[in-house]
Chain A
Amino acid sequence: MCLAVPMQIRDLEMPLATVEVAGVSRQVNVELVDQPKIGDYVVVHAGYAIEKLTEEEALETLDLLRQVAELGDDEPPPTPGIQSGDMS
């Protein structure tokens, strides 16, 4: 599944970074994005950051995800790190 949740880089030791969203953090590889920096928001796929997002775009997406969760969706917004497969 494609995980559209933007995650923020908290710690960086190339090629790995610790990224975080909503209190959940995980380690991802960031060598497929241009000049990753602490504070950047990234889109994560199968353990790799595949693109950077502007802060505005990331916050807008996170806000939208919260609204979708609020709509009584039967499933919470995806939590990074619990997917068993991520293949597209």
Chain B
Amino acid sequence: MNRSQASAGLKQEIGTLTQAMDRIAPERTVVFMEVCGTHTMSFRRNGLQELVPERVQLISGPGCPVCVTPVEYVDHAIALAQQHDVILATFGDLVRVPGSYTSLEQSRADGARVEVVYSPLDALNLARKHPDRQVVFLAVGFETTAPVVASSVIQAEREHLENYSALSAHKVIPPAMLALAQADDLALDGFMCPGHVSVVIGMNAYAPIAQAANLPCVVTGFEPTDMLQGLLMLVSQARQETAKVENQYLSVVRPEGNPRARAAMDQVFEVCDSRWRGLGNMPLSGLTFRKEYARFDAARRFSVNLPDPVEPPGCQCGAVLRGVTQPEDCPLFGNRCTPRSPVGACMVSSEGTCAAHFRYRSVNQAT
């Protein structure tokens, strides 16, 4: 098969999926939520909202890790960056997120050492290279990233790298999904579950949500046809009024997840109550260091003074993250708040709902 035949085949498959959706979708509007920044971007980038029937809606929830990280964490990171012996290592998206009074980007311009890294492995390398400095990794992310950070901490322990630590803002996604499923101001018909988080936590993790909230959950991949198939499976369950956990994504998503990754995560971290931007404090929705690894906890290693947290005035990120407000309904969207000059975290992060809506607002058709 040559390349143009291949793409013709893909176009045909997309057409088949959207037509099937139109044929089987209930007559009422059905609303599904995805909780994965990569889903947010893929759906908008490929213009899929234009291809699916209008009565089938996929809204974005709290799936962007940087976006759900509360402003006080950003303030904490900034305070650490301002310690004279600290090298702060972070994923790129966090650098421009506004804290209460400044950002890591501004702190870096003012002389703080803030390094953008691709992996905590790069942060470990920084610690090896600079034994006279303290390297702090900003551990932001869900269950896909937490095992990776845990593994870096275990490696630091093996190597006696005493100048490595992490500031955990790790979150676990099922408690947030359950809270939104039971929220009075949202009426969801199901969840599109994140592919890679599910590789780690497994299909079984969604069973309590499907059961307690009586909502279908479909683990879904990231390509356009993956997302349309996942949506079709959700639509089909909505029509049949079932609430099963299904898997559209790779067969590597096992019922129990990845036991090795979970073991690493459980060795270093334990669940704790955690504050999410927009969702507030939720019981057992975050990860903190176990006492055996407390010496790698940057929150304990360094004593810093933090300001009272201040959210940007007028910013609707909290409501956007709960799915109750769409970006276009925020008065700041597209005028005072743009990717070039963002007011809220959802416009800063490349995975943010506002950034996705802004960036791909002119995409009409993917085909």
Number of A-B contacts (CB under 8 A): 152
- Contact in complex: B141, A87 (CB < 8 Å): yes
- Contact in complex: A2, B350 (CB < 8 Å): no
Q: Which residues of B contact A43 (CB under 8 A)?
A: 196, 199, 250, 252
- Contact in complex: A46, B148 (CB < 8 Å): yes
- Contact in complex: B223, A87 (CB < 8 Å): no
Cα distance A70–B94 in the bound complex, in angstroms: 32
With an 8 A cutoff between CB atoms, is B10 at the interface?
yes
- Contact in complex: B194, A2 (CB < 8 Å): yes
With an 8 A cutoff between CB atoms, is B18 at the interface?
no
Would you call the interface of chain B mostly helix, strand, loop, or mixed?
helix
- Contact in complex: A50, B6 (CB < 8 Å): no
With an 8 A cutoff between CB atoms, is B9 at the interface?
yes
- Contact in complex: B4, A45 (CB < 8 Å): no
A32, A52, A74, A86: which contacts B119 (Cβ < 8 A)?
A86
With an 8 A cutoff between CB atoms, is B91 at the interface?
yes
- Taking CB atoms and an 8 Å cut-off, the chain B residues in 148-186 that contact chain A are 148, 151, 155
Interface residues on B, range: 35 or more
Say which one of B38-46, B271-279, B284-292, B334-342 lies at the interface with A: B38-46
- Contact in complex: A50, B4 (CB < 8 Å): no
- Contact in complex: B93, A85 (CB < 8 Å): yes
Cα distance A67–B225 in the bound complex, in angstroms: 11
Most A CB contacts (10 A, CB to CB) among B196, B200, B367 go to B196
Smallest CB–CB gap between A31 and chain B, Å? 6
With an 8 A cutoff between CB atoms, is B65 at the interface?
yes
What 7 additional pairs, Cβ within 8 angstroms, besides A2-B38, A50-B258? A1-B41, A32-B260, A47-B119, A63-B6, A70-B3, A87-B65, A88-B38
A-B contact pairs, 16 of them (CB 8 A): A1-B41, A2-B144, A2-B196, A32-B261, A43-B196, A46-B118, A48-B148, A50-B144, A70-B3, A70-B10, A73-B45, A87-B66, A87-B351, A88-B36, A88-B145, A88-B197
Which B positions have Cβ atoms within 8 angstroms of A? Answer: 3-4, 6-7, 9-11, 36-38, 41, 45-46, 63, 65-66, 91-94, 116, 118-122, 140-142, 144-145, 147-148, 151, 155, 194-197, 199-200, 221-225, 250-252, 258, 260-261, 264, 349-351, 366-367
